[in-house]
Amino acid sequence: MTAPVVLLEHPVDGVALIRLNRPDARNALNMEVRRQLAKHVADATDDPAIRCIIFTGGDKVFAAGADIKEMAEAGSIEMMQRGAFKLWRATAASHKPVIAAVNGFAVGGGCELAMCADIIIAGESARFGQPEVKIGITPGGGGTQRLTRAVGKFNAMRICLTGDMFSAAQMQAMGVVSEIVPDAETEKRAVALAQQIAELPPLAVQQIKEIILAGEDGSLEEGLRLEAKAIQLMFSSQDQKEGMAAFIEKRKPKFQGK
Cα torsion angle, 57, 90, 128, 217, sign = negative
Alpha helices in 97-219 (DSSP H): 109-114, 146-151, 153-162, 168-174, 186-198, 202-216
Q: How many CB atoms are closer than 10 A to CB 6?
A: 22
3-state secondary structure of 2: coil
Q: Measured between alpha carbons, how far is 138 from 89 in angstroms, rounded to an integer? A: 18
Q: Which of 63, 66, 84, 204 is catalytic?
A: 66
* Catalytic member of 109, 110, 142, 143: 109
Torsion of CA 240, 241, 242, 243, to 10 degrees: 50
Indicate which residue of 90, 117, 132, 194 is catalytic: 132
Distance (Å, whole) CA 61 – CA 22: 10
Phi, psi of 212 (to 5 degrees): -65, -45
Instruction: Name the residue among 62, 68, 108 with its Cα closest to residue 88.
Output: 108
Is 58 one of the catalytic residues?
Answer: no
Whole-number Cα distances in Å, 218 to 143, 156, 194, 214, 223 = 20, 20, 28, 7, 7
> Looking at 57, 108, 112, 204, which residue is catalytic?
112
66 among known catalytic residues: yes
109 labelled catalytic: yes
- Our answer to whether residue 192 is catalytic in this structure is no
Residue 6 CB partners (closer than 8 Å, separation 6+): 18, 19, 20, 21, 33, 36, 37, 40
Positions marked catalytic: 66, 109, 112, 132
